[in-house]
Amino acid sequence: MRFTKMHGLGNDYIYVDASKEKVADPAGLARAISHRHYGVGSDGLILILPSDRADVRMRMFNADGSEGEMCGNGVRCVAKYAFDHGLSKSNPMRVETGRGVLSLQLEVHAGKVQRATVDMDEPMFGMQAVGAVQGAMGRNALFKKETEAAYALAYEVGGHHLEAHLVSMGNPHAVFFTDNVDAIDLLTHGPKLETYAGFPGRINVHFAQVVSPGHIKMRTWERGSGVTLACGTGACAVVAAAVLAKKSARRVKVTLPGGDLEIHWDETGNHVFMTGPAVEIFSGDWPA
């Protein structure tokens, strides 16, 4: 089976052109091929398929084999693969995802896509948007604050109760603002929050530090993949939460461990736009 490894800011996935390669068990393949020691090594698997609604369609599977609705860094790489490998020369390009058809404006140099701006559609907020269940929280209940779009969550880091900003970008995110994002122990708090009782479908976890109105630093624990160097949908969710909480401007540079994304939550159309790179690393053959 032919595959290509690509990344957006170090958020790496294995990409397979499923119009040419047959993938009978994508969940099993994701677990095997993503393994950092016994496989190729990646944050997951993304299949590129034909679409009757768009130029191409993507399905993404996390490293644990679970299927996700969307991947912001992944969708940029899907568009790059499709353009560079001749599946589509559309620009803008339309990619069908689990949250619908998204449009991408491609930056092309010497015939290859270098960066892309994705129209990520509108953010959605609140417990229902992320599939949170109030009764399942028990004593750790989430409750709506009166003053801002946040939920108080009885979860402590360093003796401080955190406030969970719940945002959906087609997939669920919990955003926690902190004064020092580098001090957060992601390996301890990420898996606890991902599998919190009130999130039966699990959730992506982000800790964010507002450096200035136009600059945010963040770190991520991704549902099904663990610590990743970047999360595109997460960066969009962080900016949307920061704007709603009056912590940032609508046009923000988001710094992740893997690099920077440009996020713009457009006030007129209410859509979030994400701009970032897409990089092809290498191709190879995986024994079926």
- Check which CATH number belongs to the domain holding 188 and give it: 3.10.310.10
d(CA 88, CA 79) in angstroms, rounded, equals: 9
Residues 75 and 215 in one domain: no
Confidence (pLDDT) at 138? 53
In 3D space, the residue among 219, 211, 274, 276 whose CA is nearest the CA of residue 248 turns out to be 211
Residues 108 and 198 in one domain: no
In 3D space, the residue among 83, 142, 123, 86 whose CA is nearest the CA of residue 235 turns out to be 123
Confidence (pLDDT) at 183? 94
Residues 26 and 92 in one domain: yes
Confidence (pLDDT) at 67? 97
Residues 150 and 230 in one domain: yes
* Residues 6 and 81 sit within 8 Å (Cβ to Cβ): yes
CB atoms within 10 A of CB 73: 32
Count of domains observed in the chain: 2
Q: What is the pLDDT along the chain (288 residues), one digit of tens a residue?
A: 999 999 999 999 999 999 999 999 999 999 999 999 999 999 999 999 999 999 999 999 999 999 999 999 999 999 999 999 999 999 999 999 999 999 999 999 999 999 999 999 999 998 889 998 865 555 555 666 655 567 767 666 667 677 889 999 999 999 999 999 999 999 999 999 999 888 899 999 999 999 999 999 999 999 999 999 999 999 999 999 999 999 999 999 999 999 999 999 999 989 999 999 999 999 999 997
d(CA 7, CA 10) in angstroms, rounded, equals: 5
131-135-138-142 Cα dihedral, nearest 10 degrees: 50
Residues 97 and 154 in one domain: no
Under DSSP, the state recorded for 154 is: E
Phi (first) and psi of residue 181, to 5 degrees: -70, -25
Residue 288 included in any domain: no
Q: Looking at the annotation, which residues are catalytic? A: 71, 231
Reported as type and span, the H/E element at residue 129 is: helix 127-130
Residues 229 and 252 in one domain: yes
Task: Determine the number of helices (DSSP H) and then strands (DSSP E) in the chain.
Answer: 5, 20
Residue 182 included in any domain: yes
In 3D space, the residue among 101, 168, 81, 75 whose CA is nearest the CA of residue 130 turns out to be 168
Domain extent at residue 158:
124-273
d(CA 178, CA 138) in angstroms, rounded, equals: 25
Confidence (pLDDT) at 242? 96
Residues 114 and 148 in one domain: no
Confidence (pLDDT) at 150? 72
Q: Two tokens at 175?
A: 């955003």
Confidence (pLDDT) at 154? 64
pTM comes to 0.93
Q: Which long-range contacts (CB under 8 A, 24 or more apart) does 18-25 make?
A: 18/47, 18/48, 18/49, 18/59, 19/48, 19/49, 19/50, 19/87, 23/47
Residues 171 and 103 in one domain: no
Residues 107 and 135 in one domain: no
Residues 143 and 261 in one domain: yes
Chain centroid to CA 167: 12
Residues 129 and 222 in one domain: yes
* Residues 75 and 47 sit within 8 Å (Cβ to Cβ): no
**What residues pair up with 37 in beta bridges, in sequence order?**
none
